C-alpha cells in the first residue's frame, strides 16, 4: 500500500497479554512513562505458559487482560525496557510489531 506520509505515520504496536490481577500495575507503569493512549480488553481467555484461561469458568476464575498501544519507536523502546523485567511477575507476554497510524490527534501518540 502506497500512501502519502501526510496520511500515515510509522509506529510500533505493543500488545500485552497479562494476568488481569496485574492490570493496574501495568497501567501505572505506562502512565509513569507518559504513554497517552491504550486500549484494554478484559476477561480474555486462551492457552499459554500459565495454562488454559477460560474467563467463563466460574469455579477457577483466571482471567487475562489485553492491553494494546501504538507509539513512536523511541517510546516503544522505553516501554519494552521498563516492562520486560515485570512480565514474569505479571504472568504474560508482549508482542511488538510495526504498524501505520492514520494521522489524527497527536495527543495519543
Does domain 8-101 correspond to CATH entry 3.30.70.120?
yes
Cβ–Cβ < 8 Å for 76, 98: no
- Contacts of residue 21, defined as CB under 8 A and 6 or more positions apart, other chains included, come to none
| pLDDT above 70 coverage of the chain, percent | 73
pLDDT digit string (tens) for 59-92? 556 688 999 999 999 999 999 999 999 888 887 8
Amino acid at each position: 500500500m502506497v500512501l502519502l506520509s501526510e496520511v500515515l505515520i510509522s509506529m510500533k504496536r505493543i500488545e500485552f497479554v497479562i494476568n488481569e490481577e496485574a492490570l493496574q500495575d501495568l497501567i501505572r507503569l505506562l502512565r509513569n512513562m507518559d504513554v497517552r493512549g491504550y486500549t484494554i480488553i478484559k476477561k480474555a481467555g486462551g492457552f499459554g505458559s500459565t495454562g488454559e484461561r477460560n474467563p467463563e469458568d466460574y469455579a477457577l476464575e483466571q482471567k487475562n487482560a489485553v492491553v494494546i498501544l501504538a507509539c513512536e519507536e523511541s517510546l516503544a523502546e522505553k516501554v519494552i525496557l521498563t516492562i520486560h523485567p515485570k512480565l514474569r511477575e505479571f504472568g504474560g507476554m508482549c508482542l511488538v510489531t510495526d504498524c501505520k497510524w492514520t494521522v489524527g490527534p497527536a495527543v495519543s501518540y
